[in-house]
Amino acid sequence: MSSTSAAPRGRIAPSPTGALHLGNLRTFALAWLSLRSRGGTVVLRIEDLDGPRVKPRAAAQLISDLRWLGFDWEEGPDVGGARGPYVQTERRALYAAALDHLRALGTVYPCVCSRREIEAALSAPNGPADEGARYPGTCAGRYADEAVARAAAGGREIAWRFRAPHEELQWQDLVRGLSAHDVQAGVGDFVVWRGDCAYQLAVVVDDAAMAIDEVLRGDDLFTSTARQLLLYRALGLRAPRFAHVPLVVGSDGRRLAKRHGDTRIARYREAGIAPERLIGWVAETCGFAPTGAELSLRDLLPRFALEAVPRERVVLDEREHESWFR
């Protein structure tokens, strides 16, 4: 990765909807190493807006697991910082102000369509998994104002959708190189608010407010980048540099989940497996160390090179993984 004159600011942003697992570890380790190898600042942010899926005490467990693995950070919910709070549910006033700004610009509009209605109206293929079917623009220009939309919704919660232009956005991804995506062709006008702030708007507001200039995350969020770039532009905010690293997947090629076995970091801790063994596994999958190495995160700093990380997704061998516990 090319260097910059100023030390970078980046973030690790787990969601307390489940336990930290091997896949999270690999992505977070690469984000931490990318920053620390250049004297950068690490921010920890808890992304807990997905209310129904948030698990009690999960945030505390995430922080404990990260500390056990050797991660550290300058700013976060447990250490404070000048750009807090560092928990999304404590930042709702900022998101509401951003939505008001977008409404004043006319770049969002109220939508009363349910997901079922959208899918029923379409025969086109689905967009990315996080959005479901591409939105056909049913409510664009449909209601004169919010009050009319709420009356039409009949008590249902309305959504606010961003008007995505017919435009192929381009950006320089730090892993993939020159990248491009057409949001309108992919998901159409996308939701920025439905009862609470949606992921796309929240992370843009937070990363800008926390002066984040480097976002390294899993490649499952690659197409989200174009949506976020549209929001940065509309809000007059400076976008960070993005890097999308390959995920860890199961033998079926799908993102790690319970069906692939128990890969929770807490399980390794309970079994007495040293954190250095897990970091060694990360190093092995990234080409930084041979199989079986036991290393700390700081041991990897002189070995780190983002350009050396394989571009293929890592396939976890479930049977080999279970042998760790025998």
Q: Which residue has the tokens 């984000």?
A: 31
Q: Are 149 and 203 in contact (CB under 8 A)?
A: no
Which one of the listed residues 92, 116, 254, 258 is annotated catalytic?
A: 258
Query: Measured between alpha carbons, how far is 80 from 55 in angstroms, rounded to an integer?
Result: 23
Distance CA 50, CA 52 (A): 6
Concerning whether 258 is annotated as a catalytic residue, the answer is yes
- The catalytic residues are 258
